[in-house]
Chains A and B, each alone.
Chain A
Amino acid sequence: MNIQEYISSGILELYVCGALTDQENKEVSATLREHEEVRSEVEEIETALQNLAMATAPYNPESLLANIKSKLSKKDTQVIPLQSNKKERILMYISLAASLALLIGLFSLLSKNSQLRDELNKRNAQQVVLSSESESAKSKLTQTQSDLSETQNILNVFRDRSTVKVPLAGQKISPDSYVNVFWNKSGNKVYIDAQGLPEPPEGKVYQVWSLKMNPLAPTSIGLLNDFNEDKNKIFELENPNSSEAFGITLEPAGGSETPTMAQLYTLGAVSG
């Protein structure tokens, strides 16, 4: 399929409007999952139509929310109280130092990567003679290049103007822990630098929460899976929430619906 032609045919606009048949909807949905450029096109169309529709709303209906919520048939929900901790200043310096160390680490990784690449290039030159050896070198080269581009991606995020850094301070259960959250608001992503967390025990996993204050409301944004295997200890998670703080708790494998506050390892508020 020619994707450009597909996009310009107008089928995606009909898809967002809901004007296609069920069968066509299924086909477009499948194409959407396969092609990033189709997905982003659909998102732009959707945003344009949403904005137009917003313009025809008499006012922002947020005031109706409480009314609607009172009518929802629901399970019990609970709000968990949270103690606030004010050792933040010292911990801010510690986390600042930690993030500097991280940057230095990233640069050394970059230079190591380029060394490795040189070395692999050399090996490639010997390929004619030692074809079997060069095959394995080639695959290492690909691996190294993908490591390198991953590292560069992370570096780009750190440099991005819309990335805010949120230091999370160690809590009662683990006062020495620290974590830095890099929240890229424009990309709705957070990068958790979890080097300052102890390795989780067998059968446990760290879970990251986006928090709203007043009233306090935690929203899970994901798990730090395969923590011990991850060399960088930098985890990328989606965060579409308007977070006011982030917290990390230790939970049973698979994560929990609500945070176990006794196992709160780190916590920090988004400044400004």
Chain B
Amino acid sequence: MQPDDLILRLKKKDEKAFERLYELYSESIFGVINSVVHDEGAAEEILQDVFIKVWDNAESYSDKKGRFFTWLLNIARNAAIDKTRSKAYKNKKKNLNHEYFVDILEHKSSFSSKMDAIGIQKYIDILEPICKKVIDLLFFKGFTQKEASEELNMPLGTIKTRNRICINKLREILAE
């Protein structure tokens, strides 16, 4: 369920609603940012900026345009991608060649309350290489269907059905 009441109150600058929405969405948004920048310190900073933007621009969200989560996702991905284009960031990351969210899963040493090591291993095991790539581009990096189709050299329709198959795998893990 999308918390419409909280979103409405957020638009009226209700701090409690903001807090509650932060609790609901901050961890996943933090993950998305971290998957783009691969730098905890930078991810923390960006997360804070993102939620301050959410507070300032809540007016502009409308459920006619999409999900609240997707709206957050767009703000977060844009902020994170901006960061990776900055010069300071490029210098720092010159020697690292991380590409996928999967690298983070594979190298993760601490686990939050909601996710344990076994849960994470399941994600790594169940996703085929093509799924890792498709989800990375469409979800974590914010490619459009068309951009992903060009990047992966796959027809538009294949991107669409492949993405569904991959996300269905994620849903299977949750259903277990």
Interface residues of A (CB under 8 A from B): 8-11, 13-22, 25-26, 28-30, 42-62, 64-65, 67-69, 71-75, 77, 188, 212, 217, 219-222, 238, 240-241, 257
Contact = CB atoms under 8 A, between A and B. Distances in A.
Given A15-B66, A61-B27, A240-B1, 10 more contacts: A14-B138, A29-B66, A51-B170, A55-B31, A55-B105, A56-B104, A58-B108, A64-B44, A71-B52, A241-B20
B92 interface: no
Interface string B76-89: 01000000000000
Contacts of B151: none
Contacts of B144: 19-21
Nearest to A66: B19
Given A44-B171, A46-B67, A19 B31 contact: no
A17 B40 CA distance: 23
Size band of the interface chain B makes with A: 35 or more
Contacts of B104: 56
A50 B28 contact: yes
B6 to A, nearest CB: 7
Contacts of B51: 68
B152 interface: no
B171 A53 contact: no
A64 B140 CA distance: 22
B55 A72 contact: yes
A84 to B, nearest CB: 21
A16 B69 CA distance: 8
B63 interface: yes
Contacts of A68: 22, 48, 51-52
A154 B43 CA distance: 46
Interface in B27-46: 27-32, 34-35, 40, 43-44
Contacts, number: 196
A195 to B, nearest CB: 25
Contact of A50 (B12, B56, B69, B173): B69
Nearest to B120: A55
A240 B5 contact: yes
A174 to B, nearest CB: 27
A60 B40 CA distance: 12
B163 A240 contact: no
B30 A57 contact: yes
A16 B77 CA distance: 14
B171 A45 contact: yes
Contact of B70 (A17, A55, A217): A17
Most central of A30, A68, A238, A241 by chain B CB within 10 Å: A68
A21 B65 CA distance: 10
A62 B26 contact: yes
A55 B123 contact: yes
Given A13-B164, A69-B19, A58 B40 contact: yes
A29 B71 CA distance: 13
Contacts of A9: 160-161, 164
B13 A75 contact: yes
B135 to A, nearest CB: 7
A69 B101 CA distance: 29
